[in-house]
Chain A
Amino acid sequence: MVPLWFYLIVAAALFSMGTFGVLSRRNGVAVLMSVELMLNAVNINLVAFWRYLTPEKINGMAFAAFVFVVAAAEAAVGLAIIISVYRNRHSVIPEEADTLRG
C-alpha cells in the first residue's frame, strides 16, 4: 500500500487542474467538465481518508456515494441551464454573460 499522502497529492493535483479549468476555460460546458473533475478529486480524497483512517465505519463510503448523487444532479441541472442559455443567447461563453456587470 502506498502512503496516504500519495492519494492526497493526486487528489490535490486533480483539484488544482479542475480549478484551473473552471477559471480559465472559455466554454461553459468545459467549465462544467472541470467542475466534475473537482468533484471527482474530492471523492478520491474522501475514500482515501476512509480507507486509511476509519475503514471499520461505513460513513466514508456512504458519504462518497452521496457525493456521487449530488454531482450527478448538479451536472444535469447545470447542463440544462447551459442549454437554455444557449437557446437565448446563442453563446455559452461565461465571459460574455456579464449583464450583471456594474
Chain B
Amino acid sequence: MQFFTDPNFQPWLIPLGPLLAFIIITLATNRAKLAPSGDMVYGGFRPPYGNMPVPVATPWSRFLSISVGLGGIIMSLLVSWSVVFRAIGDHDFGTSVVFGNSTDWLANGTQMLRVGVLVDPLNAVMLFMVPIVVLCIFIYSIGYMANDPRQSRFFALISLFAGAMLTLCVSDNLLFLFVGWEVMGLCSYLLIGFWFEKESAYKAAIKAFTTTRVADVIMLLGIVYLYHITGTLNFREIMYANNGALLEVLGNTPAILFGSFGFSAASLIGVFLIIGTIGKSAQFPLHVWLPDAMQGPTPVSAMIHAAAMVSAGIYAIIRMYPVFVGAGAFAADPHHGLFTQPLMLMALVGAFTALFAATMAVAQNDVKAVLAYSTISQLGFMMAALGIGAYVAATFHLITHAFFKALLFLSSGSVIHAMEHGEHHVHEHGHGHDGGGGHGTAAAATVHEHGAQDHSETHDAHAGHDAHGHGEEHAAHDEHAFDPQDMMNMGGLRNKIPVTFYAFMIGGFSLAGFPLITAGFWSKDEILADAWLGATEGFGPHAFVFVMLAVAAFLTAFYTMRQLCLTFFGEARTEEAAHAGLGGPNNIISQTMQLPLIILSFFAIFAGFVGVPKDFPILGSIFSSGGSFFFHLVERSVVPLGNIAPQHPAFNIFPVLVSFAVALGGLYLGWVMYGRKPLKAGEPDPLIDILGSSLHTTLKNRYYMDDLYTMLFVKPSQAIANFINVFIDKGLIDSILHGIARLAVWIGDFIKVLNLWLIYGVGDGIPRGIYRAGGWLRRTQSGRIQQYLLAVLIVAVLIGLVLAVTSGALAAPR
C-alpha cells in the first residue's frame, strides 16, 4: 500500500488510468451491432453505404466505454492532483526535493537504460492543468458524440491520447517523453481522421501525421546526438548532475554539423529539438497541418490544440531549457543580450509565427478555423517568450492558454451543434432548401465538406423530434450547401444559447487579454514585460519580439471580437440560425456539453491570479504578497545557472499600458466594425474592402503555403511513386516475373512435346509395332484346316524337291 501513497511512486499511476481505459475499451467494451445504414441509429452518416449493414455501437457499449474512459481520467486526476498539492505544500520542492522514481529497463551493453517518472515544479503545473482540461473534454464528448455510431472507439482513442500526454508529462527522460510524443502523433492521426469516410478528414489526418513526423525525425536525431555525447537521456542527470558538468561538455564540444559555424553540441541539439517543437506545436513553416486538423470532431480539436499536443511541444522545450542556454564559452545570457542559436531561432520563429497566424485568422470565416490560427499564434507567443529567456512566462501562458483555448473550442462545438439543430428545424418544418439566402459569398465549396459531415452526426440529438427518413433527408443535404460552421451564416445566437455565449465571451476575452480579470491578460502581460525589459536595454531580438507580439496581440483581440460579433450579435442571418438552439436546459446532452464550459470558464478567469507579479499595483499585494506564487514555483524547476535566472523585473508601467492598449484597442475596433452595426444577411465582410480583395483572398488561402508545399513535396513524391510503379514495379519486376512464368510454361510445353515423342513415339511405338507384326502374322492362323493342310503340303513338296535334287535323282539321266 505504501506504493500508492508515496508521492515518488504515485506518478507511475498517473498515465496508467487512461492507458488502461484505452485497453479495456478496445478489447472489451467496444461492442457494436450491425444495423442497416438507412436506419435511424446510423443517423445518415457519410457515406450512406446504400442500405448495407454497418456497425453501430450498442447503448450498453457506449455506457461502459464512457464509464471506463471517465474512470480512467478521473483516477488520473485524483492521483495527479494529490501529487501536485503535496508538491506545492512542500517548501523545498523544486530545489532540493523532487518526486521521482526510476527503474531499469533495457540493458545497453554495460550500461542500463532507465525509465522513470519525475515530478518537479514544471511538471506539477502541467499535471494540474492537463487532467482537468482533459476531464472536461471527456465530459463534453459524452454529449457531443452521443449519436455517433463509433462513440466507444472515440473514447478509447481519447483515453489513449490522454495517456500519452500524461506519459509525456511525467517522464523523466527524453526517450520516454519521445514515446509519449509519438503516441500522441499517432492519436492525432486516428482522431483527426475519426470520420474517415470523408476524404477531407483522412487527408487532413495524413497531413498532420506526416508534417509532425518530418519534425519528429529531426528531433530524434537531436536526441540521439545528445545520447551519443552524454551517455544519458535523463533530464536531471543531463542538466543538474555534478553541477552541470554534462552541460559544460555539451556546451564546449563543437557540433558534428556546422561546428565550424560556431555551433556547439548543445546548440545543434537545441536546434533539432526546436525543430521537433516547430512541427508539433505548429510553428512556421510546419504549421500547415493545424488548420486542417479541424476536420476531426470538436473535442479532438480541443484536445489537440489546447490541452495536449501543442502544449507538449512547448513543454519539451522548457524541459530541456538549460541545454538551449548552453554553458561554457558559448553560454547564452538572454537578459544581457547574448543568445545562442537555439534561443535566437525560437525568438525569431515564435514572433514571426505569432504575427503570421494572426493575420490569417482575421480573414477566416469558419468558426473553428479562427480558433486554429489563434492557437498557432499563441504558441508563437510562447515560443518567442522562450527565445528571449522568459521561460516562466512561457509556462504561465501555456497553462492559461490551455484553459481558455479548450473553453473556446468546446464553446464553438456547442455553437455548431446549435446551428445544426436549427438546420434540422428548417428542414423539418418544410421550409425547404431555404438556407440559400444566408449562404453569403463566403460559404464556398472549401467548407462544404465540414457542413455535410457535421450535419450528419448531430441530427439525432434533438429530443422531441420524431423519426424521419433521415436517409433521404441527408441525400437532400448533399445538394444543400449550408455550412453550420460558417460564421457568415450565424448571428444573433446570443439569445438562443446564452450559456455558450457567456462561456465563449469569457474565453474570447481571455484570449484577447482583457485587462485584469482574465487569465490571458496576466500571462500575456508577463511575456510583454520581459520583452520590454530586454528592449529597453537595447537588445535587438527583444525589441523585435516585443513589436511583433504587440501587433499580434492587437490582431488577436480584433479577430476575437469579430468572431464574437459575427456569431452572437445582431440578427440571425439565416433561417437556420434563427432556429438554432440546444434543445433546452433539460436535455441531458446539452447539460453534459455545458458543464465543462462552466468549469473551464472558472479557470479561464481565475487561473491567472496565481501569477500576478509582486510589484503590480494594488493587485500585486493582494494576490502575490510573498512573491508571485507561480513564479516561485516554476522558477525552482530550473536551478538557476546564473545567466538564466529569471529576473523579477521592477514593475514597469509601459508594457502594462501596451497590453491594455492592444487588448482594448483590438476589441474596440472589432466592435466598431462588426458589433455596432452587425452584419446583415448577404452583406460581405467589411474587412474585404479595407484590405483589398486580393490581400484578403491571400490571407484566406493561408498565403498559399499549402499550395507551395503541394507543389514542392507532394506532387514530386507522387510523380516519383508513379514512376517507380510504372517503370520499376510493373516494368521491371513484373516483367521479370512474367518472363519467368513464360519460361516455365515454355519448359512445360517442351517437356510435354518431348514426352509425347519419347513416350508415345518410342515407348508406345515399340509395342504398337510388335502388335502390328503380330497382327500380320496372325493371318496365318486362320483356324481353317484346309489352309493348314495346304501349307503343310507346300512345305512337304518343297522339302521333297530339295531332297530329290540333292539325292541326285532329278539330275540323273533317265
**Which residues of A sit under 8 angstroms from B783, Cβ to Cβ?**
97-102
Cβ B793 vs Cβ A23 within 8 A: yes
A78–B408 Cα distance when bound, in Å, is 133
Which residue of B is nearest A26, CB measured? B786
Is B782 part of the contact surface with A, judged by Cβ < 8 Å?
Answer: yes
Which residue of A is nearest B781, CB measured? A102
**Which residues of B sit under 8 angstroms from A101, Cβ to Cβ?**
781-784
| Given contacts A19-B793, A23-B793, A95 and B786 within 8 Å (CB-CB) | yes
**Which residues of B sit under 8 angstroms from A98, Cβ to Cβ?**
782-784
Is B770 part of the contact surface with A, judged by Cβ < 8 Å?
Answer: no
A residues 77-102 in Cβ contact with B at 8 Å: 94-95, 97-102
B residues 776-790 in Cβ contact with A at 8 Å: 778, 781-786, 789-790
A92–B778 Cα distance when bound, in Å, is 24
A101 to chain B, nearest CB (A): 3
> Which residue of the partner chain, among B778, B781, B782, B790, contacts A23 with CB atoms under 8 Å?
B790
**Which residues of B sit under 8 angstroms from A59, Cβ to Cβ?**
none
Q: Mark B433-469, 1 if CB is under 8 A from A, else 0.
A: 0000000000000000000000000000000000000
A102–B793 Cα distance when bound, in Å, is 21
**Which residues of A sit under 8 angstroms from B782, Cβ to Cβ?**
98, 101
Is A24 part of the contact surface with B, judged by Cβ < 8 Å?
Answer: yes
A24–B786 Cα distance when bound, in Å, is 7
B801 to chain A, nearest CB (A): 15
Q: Which of B778, B781, B785, B793 has the most CB of A within 10 A?
A: B785
**Which residues of B sit under 8 angstroms from A19, Cβ to Cβ?**
793
B residues 742-798 in Cβ contact with A at 8 Å: 778, 781-786, 789-790, 793
A69–B793 Cα distance when bound, in Å, is 26
A98–B782 Cα distance when bound, in Å, is 6
Which residue of A is nearest B777, CB measured? A102
**Which residues of B sit under 8 angstroms from A23, Cβ to Cβ?**
786, 789-790, 793
B582 to chain A, nearest CB (A): 109
Is A22 part of the contact surface with B, judged by Cβ < 8 Å?
Answer: yes
B800 to chain A, nearest CB (A): 12
A97–B788 Cα distance when bound, in Å, is 13
A101–B789 Cα distance when bound, in Å, is 15
Cβ A94 vs Cβ B781 within 8 A: no
B776 to chain A, nearest CB (A): 13
A100–B780 Cα distance when bound, in Å, is 12
A24–B789 Cα distance when bound, in Å, is 10
**Which residues of B sit under 8 angstroms from A100, Cβ to Cβ?**
781, 783
Q: Mark A23-61, 1 if CB is under 8 A from B, else 0.
A: 110000001000000000000000000000000000000
**Which residues of B sit under 8 angstroms from A95, Cβ to Cβ?**
784, 786
**Which residues of A sit under 8 angstroms from B778, Cβ to Cβ?**
102
B804 to chain A, nearest CB (A): 14
Which residue of B is nearest A25, CB measured? B786
A47–B783 Cα distance when bound, in Å, is 37
Cβ A94 vs Cβ B786 within 8 A: yes
A70 to chain B, nearest CB (A): 19
Cβ B786 vs Cβ A22 within 8 A: yes
Cβ B784 vs Cβ A22 within 8 A: no
Which residue of B is nearest A22, CB measured? B789
**Which residues of A sit under 8 angstroms from B781, Cβ to Cβ?**
100-102
A58–B184 Cα distance when bound, in Å, is 141
A74–B95 Cα distance when bound, in Å, is 146
A22–B784 Cα distance when bound, in Å, is 12
Cβ A94 vs Cβ B785 within 8 A: yes
B519 to chain A, nearest CB (A): 120
B residues 387-439 in Cβ contact with A at 8 Å: none
A64 to chain B, nearest CB (A): 24
A93 to chain B, nearest CB (A): 10
**Which residues of B sit under 8 angstroms from A94, Cβ to Cβ?**
784-786
A49–B512 Cα distance when bound, in Å, is 163
**Which residues of B sit under 8 angstroms from A99, Cβ to Cβ?**
783
A97–B781 Cα distance when bound, in Å, is 13
Q: Mark A3-35, 1 if CB is under 8 A from B, else 0.
A: 000000000000000010011100000010000
Q: Mark B163-193, 1 if CB is under 8 A from A, else 0.
A: 0000000000000000000000000000000
A102–B782 Cα distance when bound, in Å, is 6
A17 to chain B, nearest CB (A): 13
A82–B455 Cα distance when bound, in Å, is 113
A23–B785 Cα distance when bound, in Å, is 9
A31–B790 Cα distance when bound, in Å, is 13
A23–B793 Cα distance when bound, in Å, is 9
A31–B786 Cα distance when bound, in Å, is 9
A36–B142 Cα distance when bound, in Å, is 129
Which residue of B is nearest A20, CB measured? B793
B773 to chain A, nearest CB (A): 15
Which residue of B is nearest A98, CB measured? B783
A21–B786 Cα distance when bound, in Å, is 10
A59–B782 Cα distance when bound, in Å, is 42
A23–B781 Cα distance when bound, in Å, is 16
| Given contacts A23-B793, A102-B778, A97 and B786 within 8 Å (CB-CB) | no
**Which residues of B sit under 8 angstroms from A102, Cβ to Cβ?**
778, 781, 783
A102–B785 Cα distance when bound, in Å, is 13
Q: Which of B778, B781, B782, B783 has the most CB of A within 10 A?
A: B783
A23–B790 Cα distance when bound, in Å, is 6
A31–B778 Cα distance when bound, in Å, is 25
A54–B778 Cα distance when bound, in Å, is 49
A99–B781 Cα distance when bound, in Å, is 11
A99–B785 Cα distance when bound, in Å, is 11
Q: Mark B80-112, 1 if CB is under 8 A from A, else 0.
A: 000000000000000000000000000000000
A82 to chain B, nearest CB (A): 12
B204 to chain A, nearest CB (A): 93
**Which residues of A sit under 8 angstroms from B784, Cβ to Cβ?**
94-95, 97-98, 101
**Which residues of A sit under 8 angstroms from B785, Cβ to Cβ?**
94, 97
A92–B790 Cα distance when bound, in Å, is 19
**Which residues of A sit under 8 angstroms from B786, Cβ to Cβ?**
22-24, 31, 94-95
A19–B790 Cα distance when bound, in Å, is 9
A25 to chain B, nearest CB (A): 8
A8–B781 Cα distance when bound, in Å, is 35
Which residue of B is nearest A96, CB measured? B784
A31–B793 Cα distance when bound, in Å, is 16
B229 to chain A, nearest CB (A): 104
B1 to chain A, nearest CB (A): 108
A98–B787 Cα distance when bound, in Å, is 11
Which residue of A is nearest B790, CB measured? A23
Which residue of B is nearest A19, CB measured? B793
Top 9 nearest A-B pairs by Cβ distance?
Answer: A98-B783, A101-B783, A100-B783, A102-B781, A23-B790, A23-B786, A98-B784, A94-B785, A101-B782
5 contacts between A and B (CB under 8 A): A23-B786, A23-B790, A94-B786, A97-B784, A98-B784
Known: A24-B786, A97-B783. 4 other contacts (CB 8 A): A22-B786, A94-B785, A98-B782, A101-B783
